[in-house]
Structure 1
Amino acid sequence: MVRNMQLRVSLKEVEEAEEEKGLLQQKIAHRLGLSITEINFKILRKSIDARKPTIYFNYKLAVYTKGETLDKTEYTFDYRDVSKAKPIHIIGFGPAGMWAALRCLELGYKPIVFERGKNVQDRRRDLKAINQDHIVGEDSNYCFGEGGAGTYSDGKLYTRSLKRGDVRRIFESLVHHGAKEDILIDAHPHIGTNKLPKIVQNMRETILKYGGEVHFNTRVTDFIIKNNRIVSVILQNQNEVPVERVILATGHSARDIFELLHKKKVALEAKSFAMGVRVEHPQEIIDSIQYHCSGQRNELLPAASYSLVEQVKGRGVYSFCMCPGGFIVPAATAPGEVVVNGMSPSKRNNQFANSGIVVEINVDEDIPKYEHYGALKGLEYQKDLERLAFTSGGRSQTAPAQRLTDFVEGRFSSDLNITSYQPGLKSAPLHSLLPKLIGSRLRAGFKAFGEKMHGYYTAEANIVGVESRTSSAVTIPRNENLEHIEISGLFPCGEGGGYAGGIVSAAMDGERCAEAAVAGL
């Protein structure tokens, strides 16, 4: 009989064992009163408990005897030849658009994707241009291009959106396209910036193999709407493409799309979001706090992460997109703005840890001066802070920064710590530059975080501005059928529509929108 079993094993035990598998087998056999030769097992889930000085690994196992067979929950992806099938048009090729296209293959419809940016290989040149030459390509950058912002990110797969779709199916799809099976086991799985491009490329090749189309360097510039139905889209080369179903998966940074819809009086809604800074510590400091160690962490432990939240003056201040062993990167999508984000390689072996520390912005209460922008008020607020960062950073992709303790105590930093941020940092008085709405709450939040994690509040950390693209500041409203509330045939999707917050939730929403788009065809 196959049974699930929980095991708790100390770090010291794992360190002293010859191999992990053998140690687990011994413990299972001892608990069941069986010989080691009688049992098999499979690790279903693995996590670390480092809350106390003695660190434990927690395992969830499927255990069965040699004569038994472990039932497998097989995920099969029945992609069909859709070269002559009815088309579904998809705008955007980030996680939402990619999984929408893959789901179309399974449903027997031909995905035709329009992506404003370049493929993953060609995208690299534009990322180099941002980092080294401070040149921002408006259609190809850390946010736009094949795979969207998710391609050049940590590849974090943790999500709380467990009721929005089949999370396991998304993970299995990633494994099917080249991800390691570790993501099926780890409690907080990630893939890594260096591994994601190949997986993204494999997904594109699947779409093309089965008859779908992916058009790069193809920005949509207009929608033709007649009788409240979308009938065609206009591309940047002025070509008009007739459409019947459009999945709009352009991401939270495609501001031109929001502005276009607003200009055409298509219903939009302002959405609350969060903004702040990115804080960067030496990874060794975070390891020492989380693993109760001094010096280098045990080699069996991954680079330590953290998750922090504090309520300050009625608004949440919290960590966002924490990247252990990672880099801070320039995420601007237009000249004249500075935006920062974080990413990590698969081994998370860089010397720094960085995380967004952001403040909730309630668009109905916190930014009354922007009310005249209507549904775009949050977006315009974001823009203003990004322009502020550009100016205070020296009018390039150099980012304004301050030592953490100087920011909290209201002092200008005469010098800064070394950083992973390639375009460089410029000392700036962020404590006085940031709006009080954000700055005062961040200062109180950092003090509270220092009390929760002793050693976190340190002059060895920099804060870097601004972290402004945590989520969309606009919602494109849709009905229960996932179709726009006014425009038939238009299916707002993923982060840009306001319906996702990361790779997995965007992927699940992409699949749901594909299913909704083909219904009734």
Structure 2
Amino acid sequence: MLRLHELKLPLDHAPEALRQAVLDRLGVAEAELLDIHVFRRGYDARKKHAILLIYTLDVTLRDAAPVLARFARDPHVGPTPDTKYRFVGRAAPGDARRPLVIGAGPCGLLAGLVLAQMGFRPIILERGKEVRARTKDTWGLWRRSELNPESNVQFGEGGAGTFSDGKLYSQIKDPQHHGRKVLEEFVRAGAPEEILFLSKPHIGTFRLVQMVEHMRAEIEQLGGEYRFSSRVTDFLVETAADGARQIRGVALADGSTIESDHVVLAIGHSARDTFEALLQSGVYMEAKPFSVGFRIEHPQRMVNECRFGPSAGNKLLGAADYKLVHHGSDNRSVYSFCMCPGGTVVAATSEPGRVVTNGMSQYQRAERNANAAIVVGIEPERDYPGHVLAGVDFQRRLEEAAFVAGGGDYRAPAQTVGDFLAGRPSTSLGAVEPSYKPGVTPTDLAAFMPPFVIAAIREALPAFDRQIKGFARPDAVMTGVETRTSSPVRIRRGADGQSLNTRGLFPAGEGAGYAGGILSAGVDGIKMAEAVARSMLGLPEAVKAAA
């Protein structure tokens, strides 16, 4: 079997055109071509009136050897790589040692699943509730302004990614094909098979709920154990005479303890109290950059027409997305983040008296608005110097100010782009209706956001308008604040995946600063499961040190 890259065909090509294009590209006779499998399908929409589909194909020929020899110097033709996932090892029968996984988001879920598949019977601790109960609590904030600090968009089974667009693509390098393992497990759990070949796959919230339940059932069937409403409050660390530190377990909010010498820390980017507990336990961590800004909403139809022209509405293209970056005059980058086509802006706080926004889409992406965060990159040395958790303090100040500006009842402050660029408060909104629930309060976003953030976004919006006409339309609406773009800390780990100064602790995923999104978090969870297995089985290290 060989893999053929970059085969381009018109958007409206006939089904039989794909086979003919392969025959022509490889120069083989009809009888030589036995099968075609679509490994990847994307599109090139740079020319709106001539959008192309771009295929990566696995082709089965009667005799592939002479064709591969003929295309030996062609980077777009080669042998199909082996993407089969292989476990690093398996637990010995009757092994009583059980690793802990803290957090049941994408990272913890994949770490727990792979550990269970290797026979290690992990115990998964989740501070929030199981996914359906958690969904009811989340709706309580959106519909009744009632926040449950332990069960919300940030905390609970499935993690923050459950209430998102469910994007399943990433820019991480993945030579071991861990990403393929994540996608295949998602398909086994009920995701549509198209996520295996679309270049920008997504699932949406409702499907993620069902998938999380299916994966939990498999973990439990394999001997794993879930403990919900189990918030970790302390890390039990033993220090030897030579100063070496070893994790021995964790303490929970109910006063109980669980012993373990191997703990995967998959806590997510909003577990601020857990960051404090880690710091008090002496676990090494450092402040890291993140970004802050607002959610912006436009009519999805406008984005579709701008991106796809006369092909807007084509089912193969779906709802259009965008990715924008502007490098400002003050050496700050402004960029779109977590773009949600046909979605809604959601209340995503996890702490009382604070307002946080995020974006969410269902699988159909059928809502009237497109939304994305427009955020400004900030850095510890420049913007929040001081102690390790100064970034958390920075986030909280903005979230508290947004709560007050919104009216003190979890409504969010909002402003039209026209008013924002003109430097005047909004007293009413225009044709673009904000989707945020429990509602918005028109105001002046510049009144509580740092001036450098406001200046950078004001500079960026006209630049973005030159790329997507209408992006800076006066009635587009911005809602604040977006602060949870990534973790404000990095919990450093070494080449073996373990904390730099605490053996047996494996920092993982978004909360530890090693992932950004569902797919990369799942990949990191698998890597840390492998690191735990190597440690427990006495195998050589294979995890590269992360920066």
TM range, smaller chain: over 0.9
Listed one character per residue, the Cα deviations across residues 27-79 of structure 1 (whole Å, up to 9, x for unaligned) are 33455464499653111211111111221111122233579999795746879
State the shift of 1:496 in Å: 0.7
Q: Which moved more, 1:511-520 or 1:53-62?
A: 511-520
Q: Which runs of 5+ in 1 are unaligned?
A: none
State the shift of 1:2 in Å: 4.2
Match of 2:355 in 1: 338
> C-alpha distance in 2, partners of 1:251/1:199?
19
Does the CA contact (< 8 Å) of 2:234 and 2:281 recur in 1?
no
Match of 2:187 in 1: 175
Cα distance, 1:239–1:185 mapped onto 2, change above 3 Å: same
Match of 1:50 in 2: 45
Cα distance, 1:432–1:476 mapped onto 2, change above 3 Å: same
What secondary structure does 2:377 align onto? strand
1:55-134 matches, cutoff 5 A: 55-65=51-61, 73=82, 75=84, 85-134=96-145
Match of 1:244 in 2: 261
State whether structure 2 residue 363 is matched by structure 1 residue 352: no
Does the CA contact (< 8 Å) of 2:3 and 2:80 recur in 1?
no
1:67-466 matches, cutoff 5 A: 73=82, 75=84, 85-163=96-174, 165=176, 166-227=178-239, 228-293=245-310, 297-312=313-328, 313-368=330-385, 371=386, 374-416=387-429, 417-466=432-481
Match of 1:40 in 2: 35
Cα distance, 1:315–1:83 mapped onto 2, change above 3 Å: farther
Q: Name which of 22, 27, 35 aligns with 1:28.
A: 22
State the shift of 1:475 in Å: 1.3
State the shift of 1:262 in Å: 2.4
Residue identity opposite 1:149 in structure 2: A
> C-alpha distance in 2, partners of 1:3/1:468?
42
> C-alpha distance in 1, partners of 2:314/2:535?
57
Q: Which runs of 5+ in 2 are unaligned?
A: 66-78, 240-244, 537-547
Does the CA contact (< 8 Å) of 1:93 and 1:249 recur in 2?
yes
What secondary structure does 2:216 align onto? helix
What secondary structure does 1:391 align onto? helix
> C-alpha distance in 1, partners of 2:92/2:163?
30
Does the CA contact (< 8 Å) of 1:251 and 1:494 recur in 2?
yes
Does the CA contact (< 8 Å) of 2:487 and 2:512 recur in 1?
yes
Q: Which moved more, 1:313-322 or 1:425-434?
A: 425-434
Does the CA contact (< 8 Å) of 2:3 and 2:56 recur in 1?
no
State the shift of 1:85 in Å: 4.2
Match of 1:505 in 2: 520
Listed one character per residue, the Cα deviations across residues 275-299 of structure 1 (whole Å, up to 9, x for unaligned) are 11111111011111111249x6334
State the shift of 1:356 in Å: 0.7
Residue identity opposite 1:511 in structure 2: I
Identity of aligned residues (%): 40
> C-alpha distance in 1, partners of 2:8/2:500?
50
What secondary structure does 1:439 align onto? helix
Cα distance, 1:297–1:82 mapped onto 2, change above 3 Å: farther
With structure 2 as the length reference, what TM-score do the two structures score?
Answer: 0.88
Listed one character per residue, the Cα deviations across residues 353-395 of structure 1 (whole Å, up to 9, x for unaligned) are 1001110101111234xx2xx0011110001000011000011
Does the CA contact (< 8 Å) of 2:355 and 2:403 recur in 1?
yes
What secondary structure does 2:104 align onto? coil
What secondary structure does 1:48 align onto? strand
Listed one character per residue, the Cα deviations across residues 397-435 of structure 1 (whole Å, up to 9, x for unaligned) are 211001112112212223123122221111010133311
Cα distance, 1:396–1:83 mapped onto 2, change above 3 Å: farther
Listed one character per residue, the Cα deviations across residues 283-331 of structure 1 (whole Å, up to 9, x for unaligned) are 011111111249x633442100000001111111101101111111111
> C-alpha distance in 2, partners of 1:341/1:58?
31
With structure 1 as the length reference, what TM-score do the two structures score?
Answer: 0.92
> C-alpha distance in 1, partners of 2:321/2:214?
30
> C-alpha distance in 2, partners of 1:492/1:301?
38
Q: Which moved more, 1:152-161 or 1:221-230?
A: 221-230
Residue identity opposite 1:151 in structure 2: T
What RMSD, in angstroms, separates the aligned Cα atoms of the two structures? 2.4
Does the CA contact (< 8 Å) of 1:476 and 1:484 recur in 2?
yes
